[in-house]
Amino acid sequence: MANAYISLPELISKNQTTLLHDWISLQRQTGAFNRRIKEEVLLEQSRGLLTELCSALQAGAPNDLKATEWSATRKILEEVSGTRTSLGFTPAETATFVFSLKEPIFNLLFAKTDSNVEKQQQEIWGINLLIDKLGLYTTEVAQSARENVIARQQQELIELSTPVVELWEGILALPLIGTLDSERTQVVMENLLERLVTSSAEFAIIDITGVPTVDTLVAQHLIKTVSAARLMGADCIISGIRPQIAQTIVHLGLELNVVSKATMADAFALALRRTGRSVEKRVASPKNGSL
């Protein structure tokens, strides 16, 4: 009796055209065809997935998606996940696309009822598990793509947001922007201290115009940065203290113990004065202009 039994891979590959037709019309009914994804793309991906699934099954691929027999199937799933994510589909919607293949396959299995019920049940269960794995794989792909993006952006943010600028010989400026969590503050402090060594600057202006909230943790980080700079022989000036920040700092009871100025311009002027320089406006004398 076992000989008469048509195995599942055989059944699927024999009926590949019917399956694809059924699957596509099912997707049409459930509204999977819509303006978000081009019909050609959906048709091509459905066909591709089914073809690769068949050839993998025929090659006797094990039940583990990591096996080499599945590499072509994995590739097409990655492609499906990629196009759909970029079109704004949720991972659940993408997985549902794969899961929807169950219905036509099951219909096919039920139609070819075999006397060997036990064997048929096993195969149904097997294909069920397999399609679940395929669907979940698209979710995994989408997730790891997203995590990569986040990790890269975090890295970019850390690098972008902490430049040390030389305003004048011996005067550095450190414009801080955004949230000062501890990881970024560490980078800020290192950048500043390194530049203090290479430029042997006497003054560092730390500008906090772009820091939306100054709470005790931010203040603590600022104080630490200022003390470290002081140990290296540089004086710090904190600039960019807006009125609302000044009031909040007072209510918090914070003592920054550092010279501070409302604007970067004021801080720069002070640093120039302290280093024995002055900025003067040239008096224009129209008659002796050329002299």
Partner 1 sequence: MIVEADDVLPVRSTEDVVRVRQEVRSRTAAVGFSLVDQTKLITAASEIARNTVIYGGGGTLRLQILQNTTRRGVRLIFEDKGPGIPDIERALTDGYTSGSGLGLGLGGARRLSNEFDIASKPGEGTTITLARWKR
Q: What is the dihedral of CA 83, 86, 91, 92, to 10 degrees?
A: -80
Buried b (16+ CB within 10 A) or exposed e, 1-37: eeeebeebbebbbebeeebbebbbeebeeeebeeeeb
Shortest distance, position 180 Cβ to partner 1, whole Å: 11
* Smallest distance, partner 1 to C-beta of residue 157, A: 12
**169-188: which residues touch partner 1 (CB under 8 A)?**
179, 181-182
Angstrom distance (rounded) from CA 201 to CA 191: 13
Q: Say if residues 275 and 202 touch (Cβ distance below 8 Å).
A: yes
262 is an interface residue for partner 1 by CB under 8 A: no
Restricted to residues 200-219, the positions that interact with partner 1 (CB under 8 A) are 212-217, 219
Decide: is 254 part of the binding site for partner 1 (CB under 8 A).
yes
Q: How far is the CB of 227 from partner 1 (least distance, A)?
A: 13
Encoded amino acid at 223, one letter: I
Question: What's the closest the beta carbon of residue 187 comes to partner 1, in angstroms?
Answer: 16
Q: What are 91's two structure tokens? A: 């991972």
Least spacing, CB of residue 11 vs partner 1, in Å = 49
Query: Which one among 88, 243, 286, 289 touches partner 1, defined by CB under 8 A?
Result: 243
Q: Which of 35, 251, 281, 282 binds partner 1 (CB under 8 A)?
A: 251
* Cα–Cα distances in angstroms (integers) from residue 156 to residues 152, 153, 163, 194, in the given order: 6, 5, 12, 20
Q: Is 220 or 263 the residue whose CB approaches partner 1 more closely?
A: 220
Question: Which of 245, 258, 262, 270 contacts partner 1 by CB under 8 A?
Answer: 245
Instruction: Give the nearest distance from C-beta 177 to partner 1 in angstroms.
Output: 14
Nearer to partner 1 (CB atom), residue 212 or residue 233: 212
Only one of the segments 30-38, 140-148, 250-258, 269-277 lies at the binding site for partner 1 (rule: CB under 8 A); that segment is: 250-258
Is residue 220 a contact residue for partner 1 (CB under 8 A)?
yes
Three-state DSSP state, 204: strand
Q: Give burial (CB, 10 Å; 0-12/13-18/19+) of 55.
A: middle
122 binds partner 1 (CB under 8 A): no
Residues that bind partner 1 (rule: CB under 8 A) add up to a total of: 20
- Which residues does 264 contact at the CB level (< 8 Å), separation at least 6? 173, 175, 205, 207, 209, 239, 240
Buried b (16+ CB within 10 A) or exposed e, 57-81: beeebeeebeeebbebbbebbbbbb
Quote the least distance from Cβ 186 to partner 1, whole Å. 14
Write out the H or E segment, with its range, that includes residue 252. helix 243-252
Would you count residue 227 as binding partner 1 (CB under 8 A)? no
Interface residues with partner 1 (CB under 8 A) are 179, 181-182, 212-217, 219-220, 243-245, 247-248, 251-254
